[in-house]
């Protein structure tokens, strides 16, 4: 059976989209996961799968960037709800593993990455969108599917938590 012209055209459009946007999506996902590159890759794959299925609706969207951010945050939320995440077993000794790949989120130091990791996912997303991407409150609220007041309160709480937690980390490369 031959592919229709529409499917070929759609696939080409999607392929071009992925080539042009994937790196940015991985960077955002890495920030949202506080440096977990493997989870970030999973989130991007999940997001791209959802976008491919909804490609016609995505193309008609008024705010493509907002649609992307919302889909990425929803993928993170879905990932955190997975049953096996809640049933992971902690072990005292880590198994032997090969060296980790260099971190692709070179713009975060270890202290900031650890503090971000300790924030709940939606609170972390609010901080990432507001301060790493400098989005207005309205766009952040749209991406998170909540009110502007919720974004403001989540951001304020997150910043309070981060200030308290970062006070425990020594400053690197700074003088007082």
Tell me the per-residue pLDDT of 107-126, one tens digit each, with 9 for 90 and over.
557 778 888 888 988 899 99
DSSP of 82-114, one letter per residue? -HHHHTPPP-SSPPP-PPPPPPS-TTS-HHHHH
Domain that holds residue 55: 5-83+107-166
- With 0-12 CB in 10 A as exposed, 13-18 as middle and 19+ as buried, what is 158? buried
Report if residue 175 sits inside a domain: no
> Distance between CA 139 and CA 128 in Å, rounded?
12
**52 domain-assigned:** yes
How confident is the model over 158-165, as a mean pLDDT? Answer: 89
The pLDDT of residue 172 is 56
In this prediction, residue 85 has a pLDDT band, given cuts at 50, 70 and 90, of low
Share the mean pLDDT of the chain: 81
Structural domain includes residue 34: yes
Q: Decide if 176 is inside a domain.
A: no
Does residue 97 lie within any of the structural domains?
no
Q: What is the DSSP letter of 136?
A: -
In a domain, 28, yes or no: yes
Residue 47 domain flag: yes
Dig out the tokens for 139 from the structure: 């766009």
Asked, for residue 100, whether it belongs to a domain, the answer is no
Whether residue 97 is predicted with pLDDT greater than 60 in this model: the reply is no
- 102 has pLDDT over 60: no
Please answer whether residues 122 and 77 qualify as being in contact, where contact means their C-beta atoms are separated by less than 8 angstroms: yes
Length of the chain: 176
CA angle 133, 80, 20 (to 5 degrees): 40
| Total domains, the chain | 1
CATH number of residue 141's parent domain: 1.20.140.160
């Amino acid at each position: 059976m031959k592919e229709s012209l529409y499917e070929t055209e759609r696939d080409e459009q999607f392929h071009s989209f992925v080539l042009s946007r994937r790196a940015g999506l991985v960077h955002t996902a890495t920030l949202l996961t506080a440096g977990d590159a493997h989870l970030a890759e999973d989130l991007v794959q999940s997001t791209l799968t959802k976008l491919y299925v909804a490609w016609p609706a995505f193309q008609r969207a008024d705010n493509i960037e907002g649609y992307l951010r919302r889909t990425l945050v929803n993928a993170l939320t879905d990932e955190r709800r997975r049953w096996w995440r809640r049933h992971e077993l902690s072990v005292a000794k880590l198994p032997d593993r090969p060296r980790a790949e260099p971190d692709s989120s070179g713009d975060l130091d270890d202290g900031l990455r650890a503090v971000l990791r300790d924030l709940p996912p939606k609170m972390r997303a609010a901080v990432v969108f507001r301060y790493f991407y400098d989005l207005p409150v309205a766009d952040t609220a749209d991406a998170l599917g909540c009110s502007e007041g919720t974004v403001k309160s989540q951001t304020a709480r997150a910043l309070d938590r981060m200030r308290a937690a970062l006070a425990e980390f020594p400053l690197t490369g700074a003088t007082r």
